[in-house]
Amino acid sequence: MLPTTTARPVRGLVIAEFVVLVGLNLEQLLRRLIPRGPAPPGEIFYFAAGVVIVVLALLRRRFPERTAALAGAAIGLSLVCSAVGFLGKPAAQIDGDPEILALMLLTGAACHRVSRGLAGVLAVLSGLAMAAAPVLRYGDSSTTLTVAVLWALLWGGSIMIGLILRDGDARREAALVAARERERLELARELHDLVAHHITGVVVRTQAAGVVLADGPEHDLIKEIEHAGAEALAAVRRLVMMLRDPGHTSPVVARDLVRTVEAAAGEQEGVTLRLAPGLADLAIAPETVSTVHRVVLESLTNVRKHAADARVITVTVEPADDQRYLRVEVVNDGLRPSRARRSAGGYGLIGMGERIAALDGRLSAGEHGERGWRVLAELPLPGGAAAARPREGGSAQ
């Protein structure tokens, strides 16, 4: 949905387009209703075709993904009208202002939204339709030649506006990419300087404690803490590398997913955890593991905030879609109807959505059943679900 500051000008433009195009069509219709003898069949045909082209131009905002089809249909209909006028008797009166204005809007929209090659083809065809229409339909008098030049200038202006809008979108996207790059590098520096530094200190102190208490009963526990700290440090370093170089491909890992989900779900009582059989054998990238932890933790946090009376909380993690995606679902039955809108508007869900979208995943959140709420995330698995450990026979599936 467009922000309010953007939606209002766009809505105003749509209303202005509608008023101008419909007003021009009504003006031509009234001129034909004034008694001046029977109208030539060509004029009636051009008027009907102009109405259809105007409707196609107005639909381009409603269906922006079909701009190429709408522009192509309008240009084709205009060329047909010109061919009919060239083969038949020329019309007596020059008109077609609504049609030309509609073709201008569609040509500019095509240059703005459509791919370069297709936009070039549509631009050439629309130029032929607009510049040649007066001569083919109304003869080759000096008046029609002047109108043809005017309509050709309007065609050039529509292309210029479309290309300016296209360039503006490209510059905006480049600015967003640069901003994301700066934020990513800043986050990588913070992770390296703060988190990695403190984790390293924990590991070093744990190793020192292991030397001092080598013969004590706490030795095994200290070794487990040291191992966990070393794995956390490695995960932070992998994340820093990924943030500094988006093209960096981290090696897939099979461990830690189950333990990560169990740790996140274990922080709240009454949670039923459903893990698919063989989940620990899947090949999962480190960033996917951390995202799963974030989804589960954030979802359970929302349950505590907005559904404290939930009796059933279920966390499901399983492969889906022929093992191309990892499906993470958190469902609770503690949502009252009055809470539905509040719980959907937090920044936690927005952050999760951006993080999952960066991994080419999908996130949905909404009411589930009569009084429930569900958060569903689907994260892609690298190359499908490959086994992390060789199976019997020494082959990996």
pLDDT in tens, 49-61: 888 888 888 888 8
Q: Specify if 168 maps to a domain.
A: yes
| Total count of domains within the chain | 3
Note whether 186 and 172 are same-domain residues. Answer: no
* Mean model confidence pLDDT for the chain: 76
- Written as six digits, the tokens of 27 are 């003006």
**Boundary residue ending a domain (192, 219, 244):** 244
Note whether 117 and 22 are same-domain residues. Answer: yes
Residue 36 has pLDDT above 70, yes or no: no
Note whether 229 and 119 are same-domain residues. Answer: no
| Cα gap 384→340, rounded to integer Å | 35
Note whether 166 and 184 are same-domain residues. Answer: no
Q: Are 330 and 346 a contacting pair, CB within 8 Å?
A: no
CATH code where residue 283 lies: 3.30.565.10
Note whether 47 and 191 are same-domain residues. Answer: no
| Cα gap 387→173, rounded to integer Å | 38
Please state the φ and ψ torsions of residue 372, each to the nearest 5 degrees: -150, 170
Q: What pLDDT shows up at residue 385? A: 41
Q: Specify if 396 maps to a domain.
A: no
Q: What pLDDT shows up at residue 341? A: 43
Reported confidence tier of residue 110, pLDDT bands at 50, 70, 90: very high
Q: Are 388 and 252 a contacting pair, CB within 8 Å?
A: yes
Q: Specify if 218 maps to a domain.
A: yes
Q: What is the chain's length?
A: 397
Please state the φ and ψ torsions of residue 387, each to the nearest 5 degrees: -70, 135
Residue 296 has pLDDT above 90, yes or no: no
3-state SS assignment for residue 132: helix
Note whether 370 and 282 are same-domain residues. Answer: yes
Note whether 214 and 155 are same-domain residues. Answer: no
Query: Mean pLDDT across the stretch 318-323?
Result: 81
- Written as six digits, the tokens of 315 are 């966390």
Reported confidence tier of residue 181, pLDDT bands at 50, 70, 90: confident
Note whether 14 and 156 are same-domain residues. Answer: yes
Range scoring the smallest mean pLDDT among 74-78, 109-113, 264-268: 264-268
Q: How crowded is residue 168: how many other Cβ atoms within 10 Å of its Cβ?
A: 11
CA-based nearest residue to 127, from 106, 98, 97, 96: 106
| Cα gap 135→128, rounded to integer Å | 11
| 106 compared with 396, residue with greater pLDDT | 106
Residue with tokens 């990892």: 326
Note whether 162 and 13 are same-domain residues. Answer: yes
Longest dimension (CA), the chain: 115
Q: Are 328 and 264 a contacting pair, CB within 8 Å?
A: no
Q: How crowded is residue 173: how many other Cβ atoms within 10 Å of its Cβ?
A: 10
Q: What pLDDT shows up at residue 6? A: 46
Taking only the tens place, the pLDDT of each residue in 348-373 is 777 788 778 878 888 988 888 777 88
3-state SS assignment for residue 253: strand
Q: What does each C-alpha distance from 359 to 286, 353, 372 come to in angstroms?
A: 12, 10, 28
Note whether 82 and 150 are same-domain residues. Answer: yes
Put simply, whether the predicted model's pTM sits higher than 0.85 gets the answer: no
Q: What does each C-alpha distance from 226 to 200, 201, 204, 266 come to in angstroms?
A: 10, 11, 8, 22
Q: Specify if 252 maps to a domain.
A: no
Q: How crowded is residue 281: how many other Cβ atoms within 10 Å of its Cβ?
A: 15
How far is CA 39 from its chain centroid? 51
Q: What angle in degrees, to the nearest 10, is found between the helix axes of 196-212 and 219-244?
A: 160
- Which helix or strand (DSSP H or E) is residue 293 part of? helix 286-306
Note whether 139 and 17 are same-domain residues. Answer: yes
SS (H, E, C) 111-130: HHHCCHHHHHHHHHHHHHHH
| Cα gap 173→168, rounded to integer Å | 9
Task: Identify which of 225-229, 238-242, 300-304 has the greatest average pLDDT.
Answer: 300-304
Q: What pLDDT shows up at residue 102? A: 87
DSSP string, 309-351: T-S-EEEEEEEETTTTEEEEEEEES---GGGHHHHHT-HHHHH
Reading phi first (left if > 0) and then psi (alpha if -120 to 50, else beta), residue 369 is in: left
Residue 234 lies in domain: 177-244
Question: End-to-end alpha-carbon separation of the chain, Å?
Answer: 44
